[in-house]
Structure 1
Amino acid sequence: MEKETKQNLLFSAYQYKILIGGIVAIALGFILMIGGGSDNPEVYSDAIFSFRRIHLAPTIVLLGFAICVYSIFAKQKVK
């Protein structure tokens, strides 16, 4: 009288792949924001205001969050 219970995952493999892609995009955006500082606090550097740190990196982070939200709402593929 054993009942076999099939254990269902919260997401499908497809959704997990999308979620991992979103997490990688978020990490890449934060990596692109790194740097721009100076070893000497008396020296000013314009490197902190580069296109990469001000525009590109935050856009990639927001895109990564959007991908993660999409992975949550995406329909599971039926076999």
Structure 2
Amino acid sequence: MNKNTQEQPTFLFGKKNYIIMLIGIFFIAIGFIFMVGGGSDNPEVFNEEIYNWQRIRLAPTLVIIGLAIEIYAILADPKK
């Protein structure tokens, strides 16, 4: 045995896993961006825009889809 030879570090995930993780992060970020806003400048005035379908339905759905993509990216076999 030669003490000068060192083992190369191996990554836990493959390139495919990291690409899928980036896609999941993108979905989560878009979901949080859609949740932003809807407030009112005057606290005495109620703004109906806070109950927009984009904030109530679309944004949480995108976040959940992004989390599901992240779980898939973690569980996917990098060798395939």
What is the rounded CA distance, in whole Å, between the counterparts of 1:57 and 1:77 in structure 2? 33
Which of 19, 36, 44 is matched with 2:38 structurally?
36
Task: Point out where structure 2 has 5 or more consecutive residues left out of the alignment.
Answer: none
Q: Retained in 2: the 8 A contact 1:19–1:67? A: yes
Return the letter of the residue paired with 2:32: F
Task: Point out where structure 1 has 5 or more consecutive residues left out of the alignment.
Answer: none
CA RMSD of aligned residues (A): 1.0
Equivalent residues, number: 78
Aligned to 1:25: 27
Q: Retained in 2: the 8 A contact 1:14–1:77? A: no
How far did 1:77 drift? 2.8
Q: For each residue in 1:19-52, what CA deviation from the matched residue of structure 2 results, as whole angstroms up to 9, or x when unmatched?
A: 0110111011000000000000011111000100
Percent sequence identity over aligned pairs: 46
Q: Is 1:67 matched with 2:77?
A: no
